[in-house]
Structures are given as C-alpha cells and as structure tokens.
Amino acid sequence: MNQLTDISTVGEYDVVVCGAGPAGIGAAIAAARGGASTLLVEQLYHVGGMGTATPVNTWCDTHGGTIFDELEQRVDALGQASRRFNPKGHTYPRGRVTLRGATVAMVALKMLRDAGVEVMFGATAARPLVEASQVKGVFIANRAGIFLLRAHTVIDCTADAMVAAGAGAQCLMGDPEDGRIMHVNFMFSIGGIDTDKYEQQKPDDAELIEMIRAAHADGRLHAPKGVFRPAPEVFPYHPPEQVLVTHSWEIEKVDCSDPQAVNDTLVDCQLRALEVIEFLRQCLPGHEQCFVSRFWEILGTRESRRIVGNYMVTRADVLTGAKFDDGIAQACFFIDFHDSPPGVSIPYTLEYKQKNIPPPGEWYEIPYRCLVPESVRGLLVAGRCICCDRSALASLRVMPTCMFLGQAAGTAAAMAAKQGIRVDEIDGAAVKQALGGESWSYM
C-alpha cells in the first residue's frame, strides 16, 4: 500500500487537515486554537470548498458551532452577509444566511492564519502513510512533486473520504438496495440577460419544463444522464448586487470517488453548456444575448463515500432528536434528498418537511464515534463523509453542520496531541464538554 515511503519528509505536525471546505476550516482553526501545530492542505487555491468554489453561498438553517458564528459575524461586519431568513416551511428560528463566497474565503483564511495554521494550496493529499493500521502522515502531490508530511493525527475533510479510503477504512456509498446516489450539479453562471424583460415575460414553471422537454425531444438539448435545471432563483446573492444567474445540469448516479466518472461528467457538461446557451437564446425572453460567464470550479457533489465508523447516525436519530454523551455537534436541518429520477421534482411540501425533521424545538446530536473509522487508527473524518445512513447524510451534509463537525474533530485532535494519545483513544464526552455541549440549546 505504501510504496511511496522512500520519498522525503518535509514536515511534521500535530495535525494535518486534508481539504479546506467548511469541515476543514473548522478542523484546522479548532486544532490550532487548541495548541496543536496544524497544517491545512487544499488542492484548490483558496479555502471554503463548496461554499466558495461554487455559487452555493447559502449556509442552511441549522447549528454551525462557534467557529461558524464567528465567521458569519466577521463576514457580516464587512457587509457581505444577508439578513438571516427562512424559506417557507423552515422552522429553525435563526434561519439561514447567505455569505458572499469570496469574502468567506478571505475571512476564513485570516482566521486560519491568526490561529497559527499553515496553509498549503495547490496540494493534493494523494495517499496516507499507514503503519500497522495507524495513519502516520500523508503523501502530498503538488507542482514540486511528491513528498511526505508526518502527523500525530490526520483529519480527512476531503468530503469523499479520500484519506480514509486510502488507509483501508471501510466505506459505503449510495442506496444499498438500488444504488441510487444523490444527484451532482455542474454549475455555470450566465451574463448578458435583460432581467427586466425576463421578469415581465418569463414563462411559468410548467411552461419552462415543457420547453426543456421539447428541446430534449427534438435534439436541441442532450443530457444522457440528467436534466438541465434553469435555476436563476436558487442562488440569489444578497443585495445590493444583482442576482447571480446560475444554471446547472443535475446528473444522476455519478460516483465522485471515481476520477474517470468526474472527468467524463465535466467534459460532457462543459460541451453541453453551448447547447444550453443556444436554447436559452431561442426560448427565454431577455436571454437573446446571453453567454456563459463562468464555469464553477468543482462538480457539486452531495453524496459519495461515507466511512464505517464506531457509530452510524441514522434516520431515527434525526427524527427523534437523539442526544448522546459524546454528541459533539448539533443539527436540525430536514432530510433533504436529491435523488428522484430526472424531471421528477422533489416533494418538498410543508408536510414532507414537517415529517422529515427533528421534533419542533429539538435538535439531534452527532456522536464523536461517527468521526472515528472502525478499522483505522490515528485518523478522524469530518464533513459529509462521516459515518451515517443516507437519510442522516441528507440532513447533516449542509455546510454549517460540516463546519461544526470539523470544529469537533480539530478540538479532539488537539486534545490527543496534548495528552500524547491517539484520537481513537479520546473520550468523546470530554470533546463535548470542551465544546460547551452541556449547555447547548435549540438556538
């Protein structure tokens, strides 16, 4: 497994965090603030993951932990946060918030550096160094080549459990019965729209769906595995700027742990974007001069690997508002599946949401054991690839929860470094206590 061991070691840290999305930011800041020497490795050239590399800038209505609260306050102080709001049927009293992606990237980077985190951009965690089932570091690939970073603890925040899978941790993916995986989205933004004309003359949803269906039927639009989803209303930027008009292809059954599948999807979608522009120019009022202004950097992935850990959060835990002695993150977002067949809309009625959320005024907790792989030591996993069933994933995958999970992982890793023990030996109840979990409330 570790043929790369003759490669030179360029650093040794208490904690190496792989992936700088919401989970990775939370993990690295918490580890460094806890006194651990911490390095954050990110394959892109900025932090924030989905929250900054795509127009997914709305942090859903649920708890995010104190690092998220601080990030939000700092972004707000710069005038780049929306007022918190709730879509119809959503009940978390604080609501959700839209934070401008580029501002999040800068502010989070400052928080990381102020905490003492070293940040390494353009660096891919290629494979863990594993000795006797214990992760001892990570092989990193960047433009200088391949090298080894040693670590007391590695935290896998890659969203796809890249490090855990490389270390031999057992992972699950998709629906065990029919193999369904939540849809991925390829997102792109368009410019050149006469928005006044569009607003005055826009078709209603049924007309739009019919136009898309007809365009597929007569060969003007091709989407072998998915549907084109015009979504100008989905990602509204906060005032005073205009709406960022973003469309996407929503595609079924892409295994995002498979680089070939991701590659094929991106090639296909980028080619299809030309067809979409032609379709929009012909069919939508105000779109006669439109153009693609930006492809977003990463394929929007809702579901890939989930590790098999020491506990699996379940649908029942979500729906009953389960609490645990080692509950290290709280969450209350509804079970938001995106895996219905193309063209079939998701049944997000008020009734659906009321049935698929913790009881009113309640939250569920995520045990520390879900971050600890069953069969690998010295490794924690945070973000959407923790140990959970698919229903729980559909709730906990949102960005505030991922940051909360990262904060817990970083806190535990710093405790392990201080005590000279492995993260899998840490008492989850002590992590909960360090996070103030004894006095958590719904708000």
* Residue nearer to ligand FAD on the CB measure, 32 or 149: 149
Q: Between 18 and 212, whose beta carbon lies closer to ligand FAD?
A: 18
Which position among 172, 280, 399, 414 is part of the footprint of ligand FAD (CB under 6 A)? 399
- Are residues 326 and 367 in contact, defined by beta-carbon separation less than 8 angstroms? yes
Interface with ligand FAD, residue 55, by CB under 6 A: no
On the question of a cis peptide bond just before residue 240, with omega within 30 degrees of 0, the verdict is: yes
Q: Judged by CB under 6 A, does residue 386 bind ligand FAD? A: no
Between 33 and 306, CB nearer to ligand FAD: 306
| Minimum gap (Å) between residue 15 Cβ and ligand FAD | 15
Instruction: Give 159 or 307: the residue with its C-beta nearer to ligand FAD.
Output: 159
In the complex, minimum distance from the CB of residue 201 to ligand FAD, in angstroms, rounded to a whole number: 28
Residue 171 CB, shortest distance to ligand FAD, in Å, is 14
Instruction: Tell me whether residue 286 or residue 382 sits nearer to ligand FAD (CB atom).
Output: 382
CB crowding 285-323: b at 16 or more within 10 Å, else e:
ebbeebebeeebebbbbbbbbbbebbbbbbbebbbebbe
Residues 74, 229, 305, 384: which binds ligand FAD (CB under 6 A)? 384
Binding residues among 108-147 for ligand FAD as defined by CB under 6 A: 124-125
User: Residues touching ligand FAD: how many (CB under 6 A)?
Assistant: 34
Interface residues for ligand FAD in 5-34 (CB under 6 A)? 18-24
CA angle 17, 61, 73 (to 5 degrees): 65
Q: How far is the CB of 41 from ligand FAD (least distance, A)?
A: 5
Q: Phi/psi at 417 (nearest 5 deg)?
A: -65, -45
User: x/- string (CB under 6 A) for ligand FAD, residues 289-328?
Assistant: -----------xxx--------------------------
Q: Does 398 bind ligand FAD (CB under 6 A)?
A: yes
Q: Which of 31, 36, 50, 190 forms a contact with ligand FAD (CB under 6 A)?
A: 50
Among 28, 32, 40, 41, binds ligand FAD (CB under 6 A): 41
Binding mask 229-268 for ligand FAD (x = CB under 6 A): ----------------------------------------
226 near ligand FAD, rule: CB under 6 A: no
* Largest Cα–Cα separation, the chain: 66
Asked whether position 157 contacts ligand FAD by CB under 6 A, the answer is: yes
55, 188 Cβ separation under 8 angstroms = no
Q: Are 190 and 245 in contact (CB under 8 A)?
A: yes
**What six digits make up the tokens of 318?**
């979500």
Which member of 383, 410, 428, 437 binds ligand FAD (CB under 6 A)? 383
Task: Spell out the SS3 assignment of 126-188.
Answer: EEEEEECCEEEEEEEEECCEEEEEEEEEEEECCCCCHHHHHCCCCEECCCCCCCCCCCEEEEE
Identified binder of ligand FAD from the candidate list 58, 82, 153, 395, rule CB under 6 A: 58
What radius of gyration, in Å, describes the C-alpha atoms of the chain? 22
Among the candidate windows 38-46, 261-269, 309-317, 418-426, which touches ligand FAD by CB under 6 A? 38-46
Under a CB-based contact definition with an 8 Å cutoff, are residues 312 and 348 in contact? no
Cα–Cα distance between 194 and 203 in angstroms, integer?
A: 15
CB of residue 385 to ligand FAD, shortest distance in Å: 7
Q: Which residues bind ligand FAD (CB under 6 A)?
A: 18-24, 41-44, 49-51, 56, 58-60, 124-125, 157-159, 162, 185, 300-302, 383-384, 397-399, 402
